[in-house]
């Protein structure tokens, strides 16, 4: 049977999960937006339209997830043109979402990946900086602007408002993020955060900002010593009033309060304002990841 490039289907779940697990163990996702694969499988299965797969003789042999900037081909099936087929599928997926580029992530010095990206029409787009706040660094407590109130999200009743806030906050981001509003009306789908780990800020009864943290917990419930502030978002018309800084401080305070020692986060180099904010709060740069882009052709 010929190679088929298509969307992720429900029956692909086990094969996709196994491929993600293998890729994480091999370090193949370190340049992506999900370097350790947290929540990637359940997120993908809840929003299968975000994932494209390559199938050969009934076997899933690779996949592309533009939202997390990842493309994986299983080792036994490499050098057969499967990666190129997944690039073309990724371009079609991003065209459908009206995105200007297909973005993929790699780490510096990953020469096979660089060679593949250059050969398939990608160019370096930006750098993603990884930062951390060492356990020894002092951190200020949040001081909220007048009229702003904060609370943990109530996913059952906040989902649609939160998804709209999320999409507005990241519409003009260097590497745009998007959540499907259909998630708000499908009962079995849920947001990938525990309610206590996601704070929302309100003004006049409307959501204007959020901070999503991702502590890792073992099977015994113990929190691991390193955890990430996954993202902070503020509605565009409420930016510049200090809400983002206070959300950052809350994220640090929350994670340290549950036993996290070192807090990490990432920021795109094309967002110097955010980078300056994080560094002014004591975060230091540690490593970097690359974002490579291929423009989506008109009419794709």
**H-helix or E-strand containing 40?**
helix 40-46
DSSP 8-state assignment for residue 132: E
Q: Residue 16: is its pLDDT beyond 80? A: yes
Confidence label for 189 from pLDDT (cuts 50, 70 and 90): low
The fold for domain 4-126 equals Aminopeptidase (3.40.630)
Q: Residue 188: is its pLDDT beyond 70? A: no
Tell me what the mean pLDDT of segment 117-125 comes to. Answer: 97
Average pLDDT, the chain: 92
Among 143, 179, 133, smallest CA distance to 159 is for 179
Tell me what the mean pLDDT of segment 65-87 comes to. Answer: 96
Q: What are the sequence ranges of the domains in the chain?
A: 4-126, 138-281
pTM: 0.84
Among 3, 36, 26, 38, smallest CA distance to 193 is for 38
Q: Which of the pair, 35 or 299, is modelled with greater confidence?
A: 35
Q: Residue 176: is its pLDDT beyond 80? A: no
Q: What is the structure's pLDDT at 108?
A: 95
Tell me what the mean pLDDT of segment 175-194 comes to. Answer: 74
Same fold, 4-126 and 138-281: yes
- Dihedral sign (CA 171, 226, 50, 75): positive
Q: What is the pLDDT of residues 250-296, one digit of tens each?
A: 999 999 999 999 999 999 999 999 999 999 999 999 999 999 999 99
Q: Residue 187: is its pLDDT beyond 90? A: no
The fold for domain 138-281 equals Aminopeptidase (3.40.630)
């Amino acid at each position: 049977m010929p190679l088929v490039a298509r969307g992720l289907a429900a029956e692909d779940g086990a094969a996709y999960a196994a491929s993600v697990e293998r890729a994480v163990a091999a370090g193949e996702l370190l340049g992506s937006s999900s370097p350790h694969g947290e929540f990637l499988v359940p997120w993908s299965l809840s929003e299968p339209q975000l994932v494209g797969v390559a199938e050969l003789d009934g076997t899933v042999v690779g996949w592309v997830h533009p939202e997390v900037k990842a493309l994986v081909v299983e080792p036994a099936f490499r050098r057969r043109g499967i990666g190129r087929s997944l690039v073309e599928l990724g371009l079609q997926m991003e065209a459908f979402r009206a995105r200007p580029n297909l973005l993929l992530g790699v780490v510096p010095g990953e020469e096979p990946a660089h060679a593949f990206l250059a050969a398939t029409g990608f160019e370096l787009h930006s750098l993603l900086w990884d930062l951390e706040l060492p356990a020894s660094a002092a951190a200020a407590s949040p001081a909220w602007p007048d009229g702003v109130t904060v609370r943990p999200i109530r996913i059952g009743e906040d989902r649609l408002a939160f998804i709209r806030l999320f999409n507005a906050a990241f519409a003009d981001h260097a590497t745009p993020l998007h959540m499907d509003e259909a998630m708000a009306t499908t009962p079995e789908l849920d947001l990938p955060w525990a309610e206590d780990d996601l704070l929302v800020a309100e003004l006049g009864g409307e959501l204007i900002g959020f901070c999503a943290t991702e502590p890792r917990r073992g099977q015994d419930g113990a929190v691991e010593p390193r955890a990430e502030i996954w993202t902070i978002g503020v509605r565009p018309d409420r930016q510049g009033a200090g809400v983002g800084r206070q959300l950052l401080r809350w994220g640090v305070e929350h994670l340290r309060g549950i036993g996290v020692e070192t807090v990490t986060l990432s920021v795109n180099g094309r967002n110097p304002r955010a980078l300056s904010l994080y560094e002014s709060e004591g975060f230091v740069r540690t490593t970097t990841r690359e974002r490579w882009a291929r423009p989506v052709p008109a009419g794709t």
